[in-house]
Amino acid sequence: MAKTKIVVIQMKELIYTAIFAGLGILLIVLLIIMFLPDKSNKEKTGSTKQIYTPGVYTSQIKLGDTTLNLEVAVDADQRFLTKLTALLEENISNGDLSVDDVARLMGMSRSVYFKKIKALTGIGPNDYFKSLRLQRAAELLDAGELSITEISYRIGITDSHYFSKCFKQKFGVTPTEYRNR
């Protein structure tokens, strides 16, 4: 009977410890979100180590013998570009996709969308999308499974002459020369 009470007491202590550890982790995550880290790789005192990487805040927390790694993305611009690139990749074969359509899907006005893309990439939205399309075309040419016309349609450019012109402008060689290199 005495062993049972000791085991129950130890179980309660373990449960309380786990709850407090969970609350501690939640508190640390909230603090990470609230306060940006110093832009240095200096190790902080105590049981946490904070590392600054542009766009990601990493904290290593030691709880006994266990080390937890927490990463929180804090760079809104990077998240925006990641979301935009994923959206454009999904619609890469849609040659009718307009700046207005993408801005609407991103939840912003055309002018705000245009200014944000220009500020982040240095190029306009159409040029950014064309650059992604041509990069995908280069990947498809490297794979060697499709004809150049099929590749141009697959990336949403229906005029193969325009595709060749844009490809040569970006890569310095025609799609055929790129494939045969």
**What are the helix (H) ranges across the chain?**
2-34, 76-90, 99-106, 110-121, 125-143, 148-154, 160-171, 175-180
The reported pLDDT for the residue numbered 129 is 93
Q: What is the pLDDT of residue 76?
A: 81
| 164 phi and psi angles, rounded to 5 deg | -60, -40
At 78 the pLDDT is: 84
Q: Measured between alpha carbons, how far is 60 from 95 in angstroms, rounded to an integer?
A: 46
* Residue 66: exposure state from Cβ atoms within 10 A (0-12, 13-18, ≥19): exposed
Tell me what pLDDT residue 175 has.
Answer: 95
In the prediction, which pLDDT does 103 show? 93
Q: Quick one: how far is CA 7 from the chain centroid? A: 47
How far is the C-alpha of 88 from the C-alpha of 129, rounded, in Å?
7
What pTM was computed for the model?
0.58
Q: How far apart are CA 123 and CA 114, in angstroms?
A: 9
pLDDT digits (tens), the chain, 181 positions: 555 555 445 555 655 555 555 555 555 555 555 554 444 444 444 444 444 455 555 666 666 667 666 665 557 888 888 899 999 999 999 989 899 999 999 999 999 999 999 998 999 999 999 999 999 999 999 998 899 999 999 999 999 899 999 999 999 999 999 998 8
Q: What pLDDT, on the 0 to 100 scale, is given for residue 49?
A: 47
- CA 176 remoteness from chain centre: 32
Token output for 40: 């240095």
